[in-house]
């Protein structure tokens, strides 16, 4: 059974926020401008992004509603009525609520009836996990179609008030780093067991991933303070105590970050060795790298490995749309196919390295129609 991406959609909240406006939206920590912001922005290359909070740090739209908007955009671009959708598979790093699952909230927001439901929880690669679940569901003929949505609303974690609750007045680098890296948005894909009646479809040839959680320590996380290796946010006597300890801040262990390039390239080389992909036959590469810095590192390592792909084949919208976590690859794919005249037979290779505990996901697509 073949599976096709027949429609895509996206939702980016509010107006684009440039680098000079970030702190006016997120707020100044203890009333002081960041000394790290400029350095981190110069490294990641992001010029603008979108936030689902306003300059009073008030949420303007929920994560589930962003997901629903992306889903409706995707459905509107399709030949399928909402009532015909058989499966909903959703991904996010943090929903609006701890429970129930994110997918339940999105289903309600979309008002979809009696769908098979799946929620994928994780960081950047969780969208690919949600996609593979839907992909396999259709391949097994349990469903004829599936709506897959990934959405992130990280800005709520970056409000100045979050950092000001921590007892330690000095915000450590690992806690502040992602404040200048991540932003909000949602993307959606509609999968069906046959191509579109007119126009282009993308046949999913395969989706594969390799996790390295058994090898590396945690690199990106929420739920643990910088001084506690075993104690998590739920082990404190109160949520307030956990917040004061900094256990609710989003952290990135930057000392481990370069490993993401190595494991990502190693996974690509493994796929070549297994015969799943031929770098000479790839027409387009969509890679979710979080920073311009990592793009250069990937290029260098691929060249050394003898598996380089010409730079003109690579596409990214990171610099204009920002890093929207697990939603990035869907938003990227939506914008790519709507701005490029793809021909039947062309191939797309998608790669999503995740630094949470180093999981890397890959997908191969072929244009049909």
Q: Where are the domains of the chain?
A: 4-192, 201-216+254-368
> Is pLDDT at 229 greater than 80 in this prediction?
no
**Residue 35 and residue 360 in contact, taking contact as beta carbons nearer than 8 Å:** no
pLDDT for the residue numbered 133: 98
For residues 117 and 216, give the distance between their C-alpha atoms in angstroms, rounded to a whole number. Answer: 32
- CATH annotation of 201-216+254-368: 3.40.47.10
> What percent of the chain has a predicted confidence (pLDDT) above 90?
93
CA-only gyration radius of the chain, Å:
20
Mean pLDDT of 188-201: 96
pLDDT band at 15 (very low <50, low <70, confident <90, very high): very high
Query: What integer best gives the mean pLDDT of the chain?
Result: 96
pLDDT band at 296 (very low <50, low <70, confident <90, very high): confident
Matching CATH number, 4-192, of 3.40.50.300, 3.30.70.3270, 3.40.47.10, 3.90.1150.10: 3.40.47.10
The vertex-137 CA angle with 103 and 112, nearest 5°, equals 35
3-class DSSP state for residue 202?
strand
pLDDT higher for 224 or 72?
72
pLDDT for the residue numbered 330: 98
pLDDT for the residue numbered 197: 93
How many of the other CB atoms lie within 10 Å of CB of 121? Answer: 17
Listed in sequence order, the residues at least 6 apart from 220 whose beta carbon sits closer than 8 Å to its beta carbon are 123, 178, 250, 251, 252, 253, 355, 356
For residues 6 and 201, give the distance between their C-alpha atoms in angstroms, rounded to a whole number. Answer: 5
The answer to whether 4-192 and 201-216+254-368 have equal CATH topology is yes
Helix residue spans in 209-327 (DSSP H): 239-244, 259-273, 292-305, 318-321
* pTM reported for the whole predicted model: 0.96
> Is pLDDT at 168 greater than 90 in this prediction?
no
**Residue 307 and residue 277 in contact, taking contact as beta carbons nearer than 8 Å:** no
For residues 298 and 284, give the distance between their C-alpha atoms in angstroms, rounded to a whole number. Answer: 16
């Amino acid at each position: 059974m073949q599976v096709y991406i027949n429609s895509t959609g996206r939702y980016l909240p509010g107006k684009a926020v440039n680098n000079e406006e970030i702190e006016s939206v997120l707020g100044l920590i203890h009333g002081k401008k960041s000394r790290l912001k400029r350095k981190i922005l110069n490294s990641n290359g992001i010029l603008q992004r979108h936030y689902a909070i306003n300059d009073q740090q008030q949420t303007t739209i929920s994560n589930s509603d962003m997901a629903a908007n992306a889903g409706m955009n995707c459905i509107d671009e399709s030949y399928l009525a909402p009532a015909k959708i058989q499966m909903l598979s959703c991904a996010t790093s943090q929903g609006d609520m701890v429970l129930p699952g994110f997918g339940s909230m999105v289903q309600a927001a979309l008002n979809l009836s009696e769908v098979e439901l799946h929620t994928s929880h994780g960081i950047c690669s969780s969208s690919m996990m949600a996609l593979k679940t839907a992909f396999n569901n259709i391949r097994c003929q349990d469903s004829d179609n599936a709506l897959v949505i990934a959405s992130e609303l990280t800005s709520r974690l970056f409000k100045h008030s979050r950092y000001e609750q921590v007892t330690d007045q000095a915000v450590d680098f690992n806690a502040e780093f992602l404040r200048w890296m991540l932003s909000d948005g949602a993307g959606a894909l509609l999968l069906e067991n046959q191509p579109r009646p007119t126009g282009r479809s993308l046949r999913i040839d395969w989706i594969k991933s390799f996790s390295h959680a058994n090898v590396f320590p945690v690199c990106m996380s929420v739920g643990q303070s910088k001084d506690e290796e075993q104690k998590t946010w739920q082990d404190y006597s109160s949520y307030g105590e956990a917040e004061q300890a900094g256990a609710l801040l989003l952290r990135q262990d930057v000392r481990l970050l370069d490993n993401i390039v190595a494991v990502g390239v190693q996974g690509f080389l493994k796929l070549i060795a297994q015969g799943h992909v031929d770098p000479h036959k790839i027409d387009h590469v969509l890679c979710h790298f979080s920073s311009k810095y990592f793009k250069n590192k990937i290029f260098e390592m691929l060249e050394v490995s003898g598996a380089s792909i010409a730079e003109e084949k690579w596409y990214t919208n990171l610099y204009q749309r920002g890093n929207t976590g697990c939603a990035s690859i869907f938003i990227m794919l939506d914008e790519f196919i709507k701005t490029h005249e793809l021909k039947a037979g062309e191939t797309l290779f998608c790669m999503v390295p995740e630094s949470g505990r180093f999981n890397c996901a890959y997908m191969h697509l072929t244009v049909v129609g």
